[in-house]
Chain A
Amino acid sequence: MNPFDYRRAEDAAGAAAMVADNPAAAFLGGGTNLVDHMKLGVAAPEVLVDITHLPMDEVEALPEGGVRIGANVRNSDLAAHPLIRRRYPVLSQALLSGASGQLRNLATTAGNLLQRTRCVYFQDTSTPCNKREPGTGCSALEGYQRYHAILGASPDCVAVHPSDMAVALTALDAQVVVQDAATERRVPIARLHRLPGEAPEHDTVLNHGDLITAVELPDMPMAVHARYRKVRDRASFAFALVSVAAAMSLGADGSVSDVRIALGGVAHKPWRALRAEEALRDGPATEERFAAAARAELAEARPLPGNTFKVALARSAITATLRQVHAEARGGDGHGGPGGHGEEQR
């Protein structure tokens, strides 16, 4: 590991300025991704600006009905927070399906959003990787592809974004509050992360020195019935092969009046399934239409030889999650599968 200077930030704008002024500086949150990368040689900052002492660690209800989550709120505290469990259970579920109890006690909301891909070649400095070293090539194109993208990839990078939390936030239409040295702005979560294109070294649209200070959830009544489903190689403590966050609201006649679907493990960013949403909205809530919506979303899928199975997996995961949230929205009358539990609605 390269030597580095460690500093504690005094305030948000100051922290942003400290990092903006030095191309070799980085913010330190829980460190569970950054310190790992420093050990691996994937990152080599010369200055670490520790922001965990800044007062960005509250979860609070907003007057307009939403909820504001401070950037430093730990993943475990967020998952356990009563407001999140009651009003946005999909977020609590997504957080609890990620990493381990010990890691969630360290990981912060902002750090989770900005964690980098788990592509094995990105983490191995002895192999070419366009994301780590632009222009060197992509080892995954001829390599291990099980955890790689089936949607929105480019010839330069086929990596996926690994966060579970970000998938739930995408279904919830969250806004990310960003502070630079001078001003504050809001970035919709769907526009925070990028597709790789010709510049896979940029995971997000943020500039160097942009500090995430909070994430805001809008008031969303149907989120009460939203659910997260994660498919992985072992039952716990593993990244997603495919994951789905979904919410549905039903009209008086039982048809789908509104729906939100986001996918994880399939693309360079948390994937908002707009085609599937459009296929479902304002029509009957039937098994056939759930399957058709899943097919519509994956029509553009371009799997790699090593992950063709993910297309069918994503289709069935979407269909199963829609079936589950539909049962929840109707009042939890069964066939919800894991998470539905057939309990009566209050």
Chain B
Amino acid sequence: MHADITLTVDGRRHQLRVDTRTTLLDALREDLGVTAPKKGCDHGQCGSCTVLLNGRRVVTCLVLAVAGDGAEVVTAAGLAEGGDLHPMQEAFMDHDAFQCGYCTPGQICSAVGMLDEAAAGWPSAATPPRASAEGAVAELDDTEIRERMSGNLCRCGAYAGIVSAIGDAARRTHAAAASGIPRPAREGGRR
């Protein structure tokens, strides 16, 4: 069974007909030729297929393309603006945060989404519950970064570089979020 859907990927609008069984990952890679998101496990376990879906980081291997009809997708390839690399991409290069590079597009999208979550005041499992209850934003130390990035595996074990790259990018681009200045938490649901 087929469905006609619209996806905006890295700023370009596409209309396509998909088999309802197609995942968003396969629609991006096979139907649209957008190969930045990678297929690692295909079961939500590795994070290599991570993109920003309507602004939030998600794995695309467990999302049906038909359920994502109308969505806006940003992949690692769409983060660069006007030929300039995104600060997260710069930081990954500066810190040698990859070896084979297979997990990297997913790591970078996840890290960008993660910094937005931290800037919105979201706690993590590493955030002390008292601080979380008071609405304090976690300072993104290595423990916080590791916990918030645990959905992205790297088989080359480039974790040391990944953690320092993200810490660096956090300081560069989200100074407010990383400095512990409280900001109102994002509300759940629609307003």
Tell me, yes or no, whether A binds B: yes
Residue ranges of A at the interface with B (Cβ–Cβ < 8 Å):
1, 3-6, 28, 30-32, 35-36, 38-39, 48, 50, 52, 55, 57-59, 70, 73-74, 76-82, 85-86, 89, 92-93, 96-97, 99-103, 105-106, 224, 227, 235-237, 332, 339, 341, 343, 346
Nearest neighbor of B187 in chain A, beta-carbon distance: A81
The answer to whether B188 and A58 have CB atoms under 8 Å apart is yes
Most buried by B among A55, A80, A86, A346: A80
Q: Considering only CB atoms, which chain A residue lies closest to B19 in the complex? A: A3
Tell me, rounded to whole Å, the shortest Cβ–Cβ distance linking A86 to chain B. 5
Q: Is the CB–CB distance between B58 and A106 below 8 Å?
A: yes
Among candidates A3, A224, A237, residue contacting B21 with C-beta atoms closer than 8 Å: A3
Known: A80-B185, A341-B130, A343-B130; 7 extra A-B contacts, CB below 8 A, are A35-B23, A80-B186, A85-B185, A96-B127, A99-B151, A100-B150, A102-B57
Measured between beta carbons, the chain B residues less than 8 angstroms from A80 are: 117, 120-123, 185-186, 188
**Contact among A6, A38, A343 with B67 in the assembled complex (CB-CB below 8 Å):** A6
Q: A39-B43, A85-B185 are in contact. Are A102 and B110 (CB under 8 A)?
A: yes
Task: Give A313 to B130 CA distance when docked, in angstroms.
Answer: 26
**Cα A103 to Cα B57 with chains together (Å):** 9
From B67, B117, B135, B149, name the one whose CB has the most chain A CB atoms within 10 angstroms. B67
B interface residue numbers (CB < 8 A to A)? 1, 3, 19-21, 23, 42-44, 47, 50, 56-59, 62-64, 66-67, 110, 113-114, 117, 120-125, 127-135, 146-152, 185-190
Residues of chain A within 8 A (CB-CB) of B66 are 6
How far is the CB of B61 from the nearest CB of chain A, in Å?
Answer: 8
A-B contacts, CB under 8 A, total:
158
Q: Which residues of B contact A35 (CB under 8 A)?
A: 23, 62-64
Q: Looking at the assembled complex, report how far the CB atom of A174 sits from the nearest CB atom of chain B, in whole angstroms.
A: 16
Sampled A-B contacts (7; CB under 8 Å): A1-B21, A35-B62, A73-B188, A80-B185, A89-B132, A341-B130, A343-B130
Kindly provide the distance from the CB of B145 to the nearest chain A CB, expressed in whole angstroms: 11
CA distance A339 to B131 in the complex (A): 10
Smallest CB–CB gap between A134 and chain B, Å?
25
Assess A89 versus B188: contact at CB under 8 Å? Given A80-B120, A103-B59.
Answer: no
Shortest Cβ distance from residue B54 to the other chain A in the assembled complex, whole angstroms: 10
User: In the bound complex, how far is the Cα of B132 from the Cα of A81, in angstroms?
Assistant: 10
Q: Judging by beta carbons under 8 Å apart, are A77 and B186 in contact?
A: yes
B78, chain A: closest CB distance, angstroms? 17
Contact assessment for A5 and B20 in the assembled complex, using a CB-CB cutoff below 8 Å: yes
- Specify which chain A residues have a CB less than 8 angstroms from the CB of B1 in the assembled complex: 3-6
Chain A residues positioned under 8 Å from B146 (CB to CB) = 235-236
With both beta carbons as reference points, the residue of chain B lying nearest to A69 in the complex is identified as: B188
Report Cα–Cα, A206/B44, bound state, in Å.
27
Which of B42, B124, B132, B190 touches A58 (beta carbons < 8 Å)?
A: B190
Q: A253 CB to closest chain B CB, in angstroms?
A: 25
- Residues in A with CB closer than 8 Å to B134 are 346
Most chain A beta-carbon neighbours within 10 Å: one of B57, B121, B130, B185? B130
Most buried by B among A4, A82, A96, A101: A101
Closest 10 CB pairs of A and B: A100-B151, A77-B188, A236-B150, A237-B150, A58-B189, A96-B125, A80-B122, A57-B189, A81-B188, A89-B129
Distance in angstroms from A172 CB to nearest chain B CB is 15
**Using Cβ atoms and an 8 Å threshold, which residues of chain A touch B20?**
3-6, 48
